[in-house]
Amino acid sequence: MSRRLAWWVVVSSLMLAGVFIAVPPLHAQSGSGEYTIGIVELQQVMDAYNKRAVEVQKLEQEAKEYQDKFDKLQADFEETVDEFQKAKGTMSEEKRTDRELELDSRRRDIQSQVRQAEALLEGKQRRLKQSLLKDIVKAIETVGNRDNYHLILEADPESRTGVLFYSPTLNMTQKVIDELNK
């Protein structure tokens, strides 16, 4: 296929997808041939990945359920402490000490449950991020192989990624987003 015809096929397919690019991806020349280079903004891909939104919503719902549970435990505990404060003047020293130890133990138990829930949610969040990144890398590889890219770099305008400047014509982020969400 001639280079001009290949370019027309790429432009036509992009236009059908609702994307218009005025210039083809960068083609670098070397002694052994031509190379195609692309740029992907990973955070933009992550933000636009439909699966991420669904999974984050599930995690937020789980966190809300834990929060509701702990709010109820805390309210019950505070009510019990208030009752103790009102009644401690009528208790014997031994009974008051036992009740204080019991309340302290209950407080520590609630704090322990909260820490365990936080650790569980943090672990799930970490695993989700790893899973999403794995999906994104796979989509980048799919687009790279399908569109004959030789080099794909990560670029993030908000942080240092090693790419200090690139032409918008190299940005293939939307292709990766489309691949992930299809």
Give me 83's structure tokens.
């009752």
Domain boundaries, the chain: 17-47+136-181, 52-129
pLDDT digits (tens, 9 = 90+) for 5-41: 333 333 333 333 333 333 344 444 445 568 899 999 9
- pTM score: 0.70
54-99 residue pLDDT tens:
999 999 999 999 999 999 999 999 999 999 999 989 999 999 999 9
- Please, what's the b/e burial string for 129-146 (b: 16 or more CB within 10 A of its CB; e: otherwise)? eeebeebbeebbeebbee
Q: Which fold has domain 17-47+136-181?
A: Protein Binding, DinI Protein; Chain A (3.30.910)
